[in-house]
Chains A and B, each alone.
Chain A
Amino acid sequence: MSRNVHRTPTASEVPPNPPTRLGGVDAIVAEGLEKRYRDVRALDGVSFRVRAGEVFGLLGPNGAGKSTTVKVLTTLTTPDGGRAEVAGHDVVRDPNAVRRSIGYVPQSSGVDRDATGRENLMLQGRVQGMSGRRLRARVQHLLDLLGIAEAADRVVRGYSGGMKRRLDVGLGLVHGPQVLFLDEPTTGLDPEARAAMWDELAVLAREELLTILLTTHYLEEADVLTDRLAIVSRGHIVVEGTAEELKGRLQGEAVVVELADGAIEDAAAVVRALEEVREVTSDGRLLRSRVADGARAVPTILGALDARGIAVESVTMHRPSLDDVYLHYTGRDFRAEDEAGGGGEDE
């Protein structure tokens, strides 16, 4: 299986930074990060840069190494190789400086469920060195901003999933960090709560002048939320760019043919032989391919299959999605990989 590994852009290739509190510094620099858990290589040379003020996404299936990357960058664990800087501080040499500069919203909620929302926020602020009126005002501001002010003095146990998740985000923001890490911010939320969360995160990024790194295994989420994203697969960064760039690199359209019966290998051979078709892959009864012009190619494909007596159940055609980007760069299907990656618990 061939893999198309792309080099991370060096500083000279990256356009200048937008104005933020971090000035012209890259908010996150990861260079060749490696991490092993016993005999599993969770990170196998992860490198990327996030500019100050950017919303950057790490997209990949479960088990790809996204959460491990976040654990290294938030100083929860130390890398076995490579180096990383967050907000200008080295994560290994100066972890406390990193911790003061970042907010971390873990994958599974880290709130104290037996305390109230306000108590959770107050304590988080205190361990970040805040106190008195400034802390109380900041907590109230966040409660209002996140729309949980009414529930502020109730015990978190009674919160809905969306409210709890918003409180998680609040906990990451209390001390006004420069960089916010969101590990799977909307996993476990229903679609409505997820959409609301997306809106809120977009507002926060603007209002708090934040650099955000988020991980997700939802392709739409990466598409909607991020300025730039990197696709992670098996401990590597496979490709990075804006969602539009990545999709744009896959010229043309994707055509998916569903066969009525199982003559998939024959069908793949037939379609591969056609001149206007590229990148044919088969998966069960599905035959995926990439064409320059779908309207012209589809009749050709169907004609060729019909001539060989291969029955077709359905055919669909669409503009490239991140799904296709993933397939293109890794040679694997995103959803199948996501399920194979395990229950989504950890990496």
Chain B
Amino acid sequence: MRAAAVHTWFMVGRQARNLMREPIWIALLLVQPMIWLLLYGQLFKRVTHLPGGGFGTTSYIEFLAPAIVIMNAFFGATWSGMAMVSDLDRDVIPRFLATPVSRVSLVVSQIVRSALTALIQGIVILLVALALGVRVHAGVLGWVVVLLAAMLMNSAFAGISQGLALLTRKEATMIAIANFIGLPLFFLSSTLISFRQMPHWMRELGRFNPVNWGVVAAREVVLPGADWASVGLHLALLAGLTVVTAAFATWTFRVYQRQL
């Protein structure tokens, strides 16, 4: 268990160091979420005044900011398996398998790296939102909840992405699957618009959408009058999903090993 934790730390360090050598990647990592925030923020500015409401605030940017943190964590996660595909392609994984390295750490480190990226992006988005006049009404605890929701959101889907990477081992397939699940789950959530503005069937479907669990939890603590029971429930749902998908990812790793 201790070896697994230490080895995960080594492997996260490896990935982080490699990413730090990519200035364009870092720039996009920081700039892109801001573009979403500013673009959507302007585009949908007036929707908070729609009859039927349900936004809980008149400031659309305040409604949007926590959801952008989650959306960004979600989309980041759907791509996280690409690093695994490239490690498999280049036989980095088999090389490690001939050492006593913890097997679990090879998969878990990818998920942790992905979640840490979501964390950093989340902080940046919240800071930009702050500059745009957004207030996190639940204070410091609110920040913690938003960032925790983002990391859980990311981990849950990173687990699926890692599993698919290990099963398919093909970048093209990974891209197709990421697109196939990414956009529908995004639009079936209340990221951009309040649930009350959606058709009934979408609302019902959306309740089972993990992306929405993250959006609800994060938004509750940003807008005034947080419903802590709802926050707790949705965070717990995300945590449960993360456990399940991490188990899926480690199972696929065993499948991969059996094929060697």
Contacts and interface: CB of A to CB of B under 8 A. Distances in A.
B98 A74 contact: yes
Given A114-B21, A127-B7, A155-B21, A99 B14 contact: no
B98 A128 contact: no
B228 interface: no
Contact of A112 (B92, B99, B260): B92
B200 interface: no
A96 B100 contact: yes
Interface in B75-134: 87, 90-101
Nearest to A174: B99
Interface stretch (A118-126, A135-143, A196-204, A315-323): A118-126
A128 B90 contact: no
Given A76-B260, A109-B90, A155-B21, A123 B14 contact: yes
A114 B260 CA distance: 24
B2 interface: no
B187 interface: no
Interface string A96-108: 1001101010101
Contacts of A96: 100
B14 A112 contact: yes
A129 B6 CA distance: 10
A76 B260 CA distance: 7
B91 A128 contact: no
A171 interface: yes
A168 B93 CA distance: 14
B18 A115 contact: yes
A99 B3 CA distance: 15
A71 B97 CA distance: 10
B21 A110 contact: no
B92 A111 contact: yes
B108 to A, nearest CB: 14
The main secondary structure of chain B at its interface with chain A is helix
Nearest to B14: A123
A347 B76 CA distance: 36
B11 to A, nearest CB: 8
A115 B10 CA distance: 13
Contacts of A4: none
A123 B10 contact: yes
B99 A124 contact: yes
Contacts of A119: 14, 17
Interface size for chain A: under 10, 10 to 19, 20 to 34, or 35 or more residues?
20 to 34
B90 A75 contact: no
A127 B10 contact: yes
Contacts of A155: 21
A110 B95 contact: yes
Contact of B95 (A113, A126, A171): A171
Interface string A283-304: 0000000000000000000000
Contacts of B257: 76-77
Nearest to B18: A114
Given A77-B260, A112-B14, A99 B90 contact: no
Interface size for chain B: under 10, 10 to 19, 20 to 34, or 35 or more residues?
20 to 34
Contacts of B258: 77
A113 to B, nearest CB: 7
A112 B18 contact: yes
B90 A113 contact: yes
Given A109-B91, A115-B18, A76 B99 contact: no
Nearest to B19: A114
A127 B95 contact: no
Contacts of B97: 75-76
A100 B95 contact: no
Contact of A106 (B13, B17, B18, B91): B91
A143 B91 CA distance: 22
Given A71-B260, A74-B98, A119-B17, A126 B10 contact: yes
Contacts of A181: 98
A119 B258 CA distance: 29
Given A71-B260, A112-B14, A115-B14, A76 B98 contact: yes
Nearest to A346: B260
A171 B94 CA distance: 13
B99 A128 contact: yes
Contact of B100 (A108, A113, A127): A127
Contact of B98 (A75, A109, A111): A75
A34 to B, nearest CB: 16
A153 to B, nearest CB: 12
Contact of B101 (A112, A114, A115, A127): A127
A114 B15 CA distance: 9
Contact of B94 (A106, A112, A123): A106
Interface string B59-78: 00000000000000000000
A151 to B, nearest CB: 16
A110 B10 contact: no
B94 A127 contact: no
Contacts of B96: 110, 127
Given A76-B257, A119-B14, 10 more contacts: A77-B258, A109-B90, A112-B14, A112-B87, A115-B17, A115-B18, A126-B10, A127-B96, A128-B99, A155-B21
Interface of A: 71, 74-77, 96, 99-100, 102, 104, 106, 108-115, 119, 123-124, 126-129, 155, 171, 181
8 contacts: A106-B91, A110-B91, A110-B94, A112-B14, A112-B18, A112-B90, A127-B10, A129-B100
10 nearest A-B pairs in the assembled complex, by CB-CB distance: A110-B95, A104-B98, A114-B18, A127-B101, A110-B91, A99-B100, A74-B98, A77-B260, A96-B100, A108-B91
